[in-house]
Amino acid sequence: MLSKALSFTILGIEAFPVEVEVDFGLGLPGITIVGLPDSSIKESRERIRSALKNSGFQFPMKKITINLAPADLKKEGSGFDLAIAVALLSGMEIVSKETLNKKAFLGELALDGRIKSTKGILPAVIKAKELGLDEVIIPYENLKEASLVKDFKIIGVKHLREVTDYLKGIFNPQQENIEVLEDMESEFDIDFAEVLGQELAKRAFEISAAGGHNLLMIGPPGAGKTMLAQRIPTILPPMSYEEALETTKIYSVAGLLFAEKPFIINRPFRNPHFGISEAGMIGGGTYPKPGEISLAHNGVLFLDEFPEFRKDVIEALRQPLEDGKVTITRASFTITYPAKFMLICAMNPCRCGYYGHPTKPCQCTFQEIKKYRSKLSGPIIDRIDIHLEVPPVEFKDLMKEPIKGSLDSKTIQERVVKARKIQERRYGSPLKVNARLKPKEIKKYCILEPKAQDFLEKVANKFNFSARALHKILKVSRTIADLEESEIILKQHIAEAVQYRILEKPLWES
């Protein structure tokens, strides 16, 4: 006798339907699972056997073949337990086959029949809705996460008995009325007003947030680079529902959601250690998972001590910085993860950190300084829009009270949101920012006054900027103009944008 149930497997951050087929045949009792299952799925035989027995069902003493179709798609994870168990119960005629139509099942079974949470629920529920299914039955612990999907029937269950009783129509699970995004306002216990001095740096961070620009800070230890970077989420615009949904999908697949708050409403801020591997940064592995650049999607990736990262890790950032996504190709799979993030980097001017310091002498030799800086190639530097020198803070500035008003996070965020609204009206999309302009769009939207064009030509010839660097200057100047609500890019906007390209020149020229 053949019975079927529907479930999902995850590849990248997308869910793919998997039909669980169970056949009862003649022969020695046992269970065989085929269809490219991983070890966790093969081990489900014992979990399901114990779960059925401890839920009051007699396990059939027959030869059982379980096929996960399509057979050429690799499956992993314990989320197939529930679908296999339901298909077995259908084959045993405990539940009707008709009740399984247009339904999907996800969840891991405990030995006593409890249904435990599993990762990747959100993309699976989204796919179930896209396929036109009537409902999806998932672990109760994942109900909040799944509730991000609107206008779709989701049933949260705690035990295998609840599933069978629900399919028989004798039990109706009590579902909470969950409104997961009732409050999209973010609260922070840090503020830009706490950063004393560094007015130029704060201005650069405001421009970076307003246009989604990448930023590199160069300065000695203790100048406040990390403190500045940690506060950039406080001035970024709140995430939209679409952004929250996409970001939560990534964290769901990675298994990084918390049961008490299984959705992401604050923009991610990722700060990996410089010992991270290339796979840890861009994603991948035997069973592929999102890397740090994807976990920073719609948020910020902060790389402190930038030159200390392995060179292959730094160079692996090239494609994501340009394309907003990363494609990982291996012998057995090709997957694409989203990776639209703001890159914020911090570095010392040399290994000891005091090259060019006004009072502390540098202990590095010329060769040591050159070797330290050579880790950052020209193509990587070109892909960072704003280069910023962060000088040491003077004692008199440290003794001041925190500045209120124009330089606190709330006020800066208001200006950033206003600039983002201008970009939304211009580009017709809330997800499009100046930093993501393509070359033909730069020509269309970055209109310069004659004085600005003449000034940019002189500067470009003097410093021999690459075409990419010129595009970065135009994008940053477009953001500066938006902050001042100017439709035309003026000379002063170009001049301010240029200073964020030439500040590092003395540090890189040897």
> In whole angstroms, what separates CA 55 from the centre of its chain?
39
Q: Is the pLDDT of residue 4 over 80?
A: yes
Question: Are 300 and 346 spatial neighbours (Cβ–Cβ below 8 Å)?
Answer: no
- The structure tokens listed for 421 are 């609204």
Query: Rounded to whole angstroms, how far apart are CA atoms 12 and 337?
Result: 6
Domains of the chain: 2-168 (3.30.230.10), 192-508 (3.40.50.300)
Which amino acid, one-letter code, is at 333?
F
Confidence of residue 366 (pLDDT cuts 50, 70, 90): confident
- The structure tokens listed for 215 are 């930023």
Confidence of residue 465 (pLDDT cuts 50, 70, 90): confident
Cβ neighbourhood burial of 65 (10 Å; 0-12, 13-18, 19+): middle
Q: What does the pLDDT look like over 189-229, one tens digit per residue?
A: 889 888 887 889 999 999 999 999 999 999 999 888 999 99
The 8-class DSSP code of residue 220 comes to: -
For position 507, what pLDDT does the model report?
46
Q: How far is CA 373 from CA 252, 311, 351, 358, 476, in A?
A: 38, 11, 9, 20, 25
Confidence of residue 506 (pLDDT cuts 50, 70, 90): very low
Q: What does the pLDDT look like over 238-275, one tens digit per residue?
A: 998 889 999 999 999 999 988 777 888 899 999 999 99
B/e letters for 297-329, b = 16+ CB within 10 Å, e = fewer, are bbbbbbbbebbbbeeebbbbbeebbeeeebebe
pTM (two decimals)? 0.90
Query: Rounded to whole angstroms, how far apart are CA atoms 365 and 263?
Result: 50
For position 186, what pLDDT does the model report?
64
Q: What does the pLDDT look like over 59-68, one tens digit per residue?
A: 988 999 999 9
Q: What does the pLDDT look like over 24-50, one tens digit per residue?
A: 988 889 999 999 999 889 999 999 999
